[in-house]
Structure 1
């Protein structure tokens, strides 16, 4: 009788000892990295927790919002067909399964054992969801700067794994930093020049999807730069001639032609044209119509914008033979009538020939040679447009 009572006391003390053991979490899954649409299983094993509630909670990564209860014990709280819960009594393991993983499923999943109102034990597993890069709104979009300024282009991207950011230029042009690729979130240009203008590409890649790219337009404002491809040109009297300048500037400049300190305009003597070949490039041409003596001399093309001005000179001088173009179609000889080539031009040619031949001619012979030269010039230079003289240039 005594032995039986003693055994019962030992069993009672052992049971009370078990009941008084503090619950513990013996195992929690390690960090999980999954693709969108995949499946993940999160495990939590507990000990001495038979009489305590065991919960799965989703915790905001930034701890801003309240934790979201998912399950308690072996029952799901959340109503989502993608979630399932298994409980293994042998190992006291609660397994939370999530199918068709979405980007919003990423975060901390916390296994909790509630011991008292203000007392719990917990362990977390981090679920990372691979997602393609997305370039953030706080990245640079476009920029307009003045030449010489320092410039900073920023590019930030979200995604998992964290994206790597690199910079390129259109057509793989050399970057201001040197080379065709620069790696990093910020591209700095210490003193930007007009040659640095154009499109820059911010590229974010992390091995998920095709990556992301943003085109950043960089406009550089600069003062005009003018070049005259043919600074000295010749043309015969009573013929047309084109003078040309190439202008490079941004913002687009005001362009004028000047002669003898007078700004020229379109009229019966001049025709001015502008042609934009690109955003920063303009070709300007002035045609002098039926040239008169007073129209020979220096012409100035001038361009100006808010950053400065530039000018170039083109010198027009008198030549003997008409220049083609633009005079190709002006002189025609129908029925033997010389419309544009004058007697004086013929006499000049004869005189030149005589100097080289050392042959004196009387008046009758001079007239015969004059008629012959007139016919020769008409037939050779102006009857066919392809036979007219080329542009006469002097450097």
Structure 2
């Protein structure tokens, strides 16, 4: 064995002895599960990575359990930019959403991130100011629900009919507490027995998981021309989507639309016929004018 390898082995042994001597042990502990946060429990080791999954707009709680530590500071660091977020209970970032909590006699330090944003996703490191440094990491995953429409976003309906508009919220850890519908800038509140009804139904789970979809429905009875316009589906935990409703007043309007479309097609075919006729005339002239042998 070379002298370099022997020296490296001695340093490794000394590091382990020093770790036991200072009696600092750090781990990522589970805080349990609630409706939108889930945690992975890990055994006490160095540089472990635990996973925390939370939904955008909710609060995230990153756990770190430190045992047998005396007069040593505990810090939380955002790994992507090495920004120190907290040292003990003091916050060292201008973003007030970050805060560190300690539960007495448990050794549990928790980094709270309020109103989580998509950009908060990534690695966070809990560090103890021992020598050598003892640390563990938490990987924060941020779930962003998505809103999708059922059917064509541009709808044409006949006056007097009943129209049902649907939007679906997919991939949410916690279902939306409400879905608000707007007609142009006017919010449709509650239920109008004679005109509209709003429903919120939990659908079937996604094919890639056990998270159920939520379907928001707006039912409009006896639609008329005034009901035409833009309808927005706005969930509490996802981006809004818009549906355009076009109400055709009566049969004459339908006939007008149909005849207009027919006239357009006839005009197009007529123009195409003229073009083809001109082309054939040109070919014939070329043939006739060609010199004969």
Q: TM-score range by the shorter chain?
A: 0.3 to 0.5
- Return the TM-score normalized by structure 1: 0.29
- Return the TM-score normalized by structure 2: 0.38
Say which structure is richer in helix. 2
Say which structure is richer in strand. 1
Larger Rg over CA atoms: 1
